[in-house]
Structures are given as structure tokens and as C-alpha cells.
Amino acid sequence: MERGKTMPRYIATHSVPFTKEVLVKYAKEEVPKFRKAGVTWIRTFCDFPSNKHFCEWLAPNREAIEKIFKDLSIPYDGLYEVKAFDVNKVKFED
């Protein structure tokens, strides 16, 4: 990655019955491993009743996130490179 260039942002969508406990476990046990791979799990938006989860990631490429999902046997519906739009500033974030 070029110096000064921001890392790409991704949204992963999951239709799986994650529990609060599973997400906490991943955050405590797996996040340090992700960082070693140059990947950052930012946050997850959860709709527990519908088993829908939307996870925000920073990674050098989509393959790095796909490897994490494969290694942890986490199914996903989609993985999208996205740009964040700040409504209050009326601009896209870098």
C-alpha cells in the first residue's frame, strides 16, 4: 500500500445466528490475530432477531478478510469495498 493512502474499507454481510457471546469471544480472542494480518475489524451492526449482521473492516484487500472468514468457518452473504459518506460534513471520507 502506498504511503499516506488510506486502507480500503469493507462491509461484510452475514445471515447467521451470531450471539452476543460469540461476537464478544471473537473480539477478545481473534482481533489480535487480525491485526497481525494487517486487518482491522471496526464494528458490527447486529439485528439479532433476523440473524443479520453488517461488519465494517479495514484491510489491504478483500482476500485478507475472506481468508479470516475461511479460517474461522464464518459464512458471509457478501463483501463490499465501500466509501463512507459523512452526512453532517456532506463529503466522502478518505
Asked whether 77 and 15 are in contact (CB, 8 A), the reply is yes
Asked whether 52 and 15 are in contact (CB, 8 A), the reply is yes
The predicted structure's pLDDT at residue 47: 98
Q: How many C-beta neighbours within 10 Å does residue 52 have?
A: 15
The predicted structure's pLDDT at residue 6: 84
pLDDT single digits (tens) 15-54: 999 999 999 999 999 999 999 889 999 999 999 999 999 9
Q: What is the mean pLDDT of residues 73-93?
A: 96
Single pTM value for the model = 0.89
Partnered with residue 78 across adjacent β-strands are 13
Domains of the chain in start order, with CATH, are: 9-84 (3.30.70.3090)
Which residues, at least 6 apart from 16, have a Cβ–Cβ distance to it below 8 Å?
51, 53, 74, 75
Q: Is the alpha carbon torsion for 69, 74, 75, 81 positive or negative? A: negative
